[in-house]
Amino acid sequence: MATRSRRRFDDDDFTLSLPPNDLPPNDLPPNDLSPNPEHDPEHDPDEPSWSSYPDAAHGPQPLPGWVLTSPAAIDTDLGVMKTGKEADVSLLRRAHDGREVLMAVKRYRDAQHRMFHRDAGYLEGRRVRRSRENRAMATRTEFGRELIAGQWAAAEFAVLSRLWRAGAAVPYPVQLQGTELMMEFIGTPEGVAAPRLAQLRPDSREAAHLYHQMRQVLVALAEAGYAHGDLSAYNVLVHQGRLVLIDLPQAMDVVGNPQGFEYLLRDCVNICTWFAARGVHADPHELRDELLVSVPRA
């Protein structure tokens, strides 16, 4: 993708305290969290360009067979699928040698149009190495907001990578560059995105099956030390009966974050309320206790 497309990237709030053996967001090479001086807001987002994969940080191994890695591949931005307070998500087609794949591209907005209004709790404990950058992030200068945007993208990339390796139901993170994250598109080959859980009207049997999947994916998060941090029926996709968790930039270390246990319970209350309204026995405190057993304490 051209410079502008590579640098404008996605999502919401996050507190990343990565468990041992994971690099913090600012240590993920070759991703640069600093503002991009070559940013070109006039670039046409629909103009095809060479694949940005060779210049980006790559997702975890083993690489899924559908991922196109050739520098000769062509990227075409097909337009915005979802707008959010801090980011937009677009659909991208990458094609090479008769093959093509669709991906979701998450881009944080520029500092003037981004609203980090809920990030204080999520950012607790997150630091970068240089004191100037820490001060800029704390005072929310324009430069500091750009740094925060880069951390959101890098944080989600790191969380998705770890969870995907653990077998959790999350999109595969293809690449990270600056404040832009490319990931597996969950939907049809024609580009129709999978519906969110909130859009479904399941009967009690279908809802019970989905709740069983929800518990499985939340246990996988807990075993990795994470709480989602902003879980709701709007942050879950359902594709061909399979539940997939999305929007994870604010995922947090349950033990390391001072508010980690509160966020975990809030996640449980939000999702259990939705399922209970559809006839499922979903007690948030029972779910919270189940997840706490899985959280590593060392």
pLDDT tens column, 67-116: 999 999 999 999 999 988 778 999 999 999 999 999 999 997 655 444 44
- pLDDT tens figures, 195-229: 999 999 999 999 999 999 999 999 999 999 999 99
pLDDT at residue 87 in the model: 85
Catalytic residue among 75, 88, 119, 230: 230
Instruction: Say which amino acid occupies 273.
Output: T
Q: With beta carbons less than 8 A apart as the criterion, state whether 287 and 272 touch.
A: yes
pLDDT surpasses 70 at 146: no
Q: What is the DSSP letter of 64?
A: P
Sheet holding 49-50, edge to edge: 49-50, 74-83, 87-96, 99-108, 180-184, 173-177, 57-58
CATH class of 3-184: alpha beta
Mean pLDDT of the chain: 80
pLDDT at 47: 81
pLDDT at 191 > cutoff 90: yes
| 208: its two tokens | 């019970």
**pLDDT band for position 136 (cuts 50, 70, 90):** very low
- Tokens in use for 178? 């600056």
Confirm whether 247 is a catalytic residue: yes
Mean pLDDT of 135-158: 66
Catalytic pick among 13, 247, 253, 267 = 247
Alpha-carbon radius of gyration of the chain: 19
Question: Which structure tokens are listed for 260?
Answer: 């980690």
> Which tens digits make up the pLDDT trace of 261-270?
999 999 999 9
- Helix, strand, or coil (residue 15): coil
pLDDT score, position 40:
44
Q: Is the dihedral of CA 25, 29, 34, 36 positive or negative?
A: negative
Residue, of 282 and 119, whose pLDDT is higher:
282
Per CATH, 3-184 and 197-294 having the same topology is answered no
What's the number of CA atoms in the CB half-sphere (13 Å) around residue 141?
10
Does 126 score more than 60 pLDDT?
Answer: no
- pLDDT tens track for 9-43: 233 333 333 333 343 333 333 343 333 434 444 44
Banded model confidence at residue 151, pLDDT cuts 50, 70, 90? confident
Domain residue extents for the chain: 3-184, 197-294
**Assigned CATH for 197-294:** 1.10.510.10
Helix (H) or strand (E) holding 205, with range, is helix 204-223
> Any idea what DSSP says for residue 196?
B
